[in-house]
Amino acid sequence: MDGSDLSEDSALKATISNTFDVLGWEIELAAARSIYLDSIIGRMIGLLPDERKAEFVESMHTVDLLSQQLTGLSAFTRRMSGEAPDVHAYVHTALEQIPLGALADRMGVALGGVEKDINDGDGAGDLDLF
């Protein structure tokens, strides 16, 4: 499906470069969340008796690998953002594939969609996002 069956207003288009850019930020955020999880596991291990630490060390290594994987993918995507041709693509149907509403909404706004007033709701004041 492309944008031909939607009105001009609802068919969200973005450049390939911007799409890579937005994707890169989201992967970078996923990496940050993974690093945060890694730090939590590290702190938990520090509280455990020595005989139980080994159970969690493997989990920490797995999360560390995940962080590295996401960081690498983010770097790749950032670089691709700079290399991508200046052409547009419809992104609304791809966004509809994302079941996590907050993520789809955030990406839609970053890709050129309309956002509600940023002074409303969680956009106001000193934010606390996690």
**C-alpha to C-alpha distance for 37 and 32, rounded to whole angstroms:** 9
Stretch that binds other proteins, among 3-11, 44-52, 58-66, 75-83 (CB under 8 A): 75-83
Q: Does 29 bind other proteins (CB under 8 A)?
A: yes
User: CA-to-CA distance for 76 and 57, rounded, in angstroms?
Assistant: 29
* Euclidean distance between CA atoms 127 and 119, whole angstroms: 11
Q: In the complex with other proteins, which residue's Cβ is closer, 52 or 68? A: 68
Asked if residue 64 binds other proteins (CB under 8 A), the reply is no
Q: What is the rounded CA–CA span in Å between residue 21 and residue 67?
A: 19
The reply on whether position 31 binds other proteins by CB under 8 A is: yes
Return the H-helix or E-strand segment holding 90.
Answer: strand 88-90
Query: Which one, 39 or 54, has the nearer CB to other proteins?
Result: 39
Distance of CA 20 to the CA centre of its chain: 11
Q: Which residues form the interface with other proteins (CB under 8 A)? A: 21-22, 24-26, 28-29, 31-33, 35-36, 39, 71, 74-75, 78, 81-82, 106, 109-110, 118-119, 123-127, 129-130
